[in-house]
Amino acid sequence: MTKTLNAIFDGKVLCLEEPLELKPNTHVKVRIETISVPHGKKCSFIKTARSLKLEGPVDWSTNLEEHLYGEKRQ
């Protein structure tokens, strides 16, 4: 079986970015190929939030606790 997986080296071990379905003690051959992660334009939180197109009440920020807990808190 051949499978390509992405991983991140944390300084001690490689951490796979997705599960690997192998039985314990399975012998594997590992080939290391570094990849560059694109560092494009930074995106602001507001742009990210708007891109999600979330819907909610217009008074969300002023009545947060009422919307979260169902009652006004003093």
State whether residue 36 is helix, strand or coil.
coil
Chain length of the chain: 74
Over the range 34-57, which residues count as b (16 or more CB within 10 Å of their CB) and which as e?
eeeeeeeeeeeeeeeeeeeeeeee
Q: Which residue has the higher pLDDT, 58 or 42?
A: 58
pLDDT score for 4: 86
pLDDT at 43: 67
Cα torsion 29, 15, 38, 2: sign: positive
d(CA 18, CA 5): 7
pTM of the full predicted structure? 0.42
Tens digits of per-residue pLDDT, 5-52?
Answer: 888 888 899 988 888 888 999 999 988 888 876 676 666 777 777 777
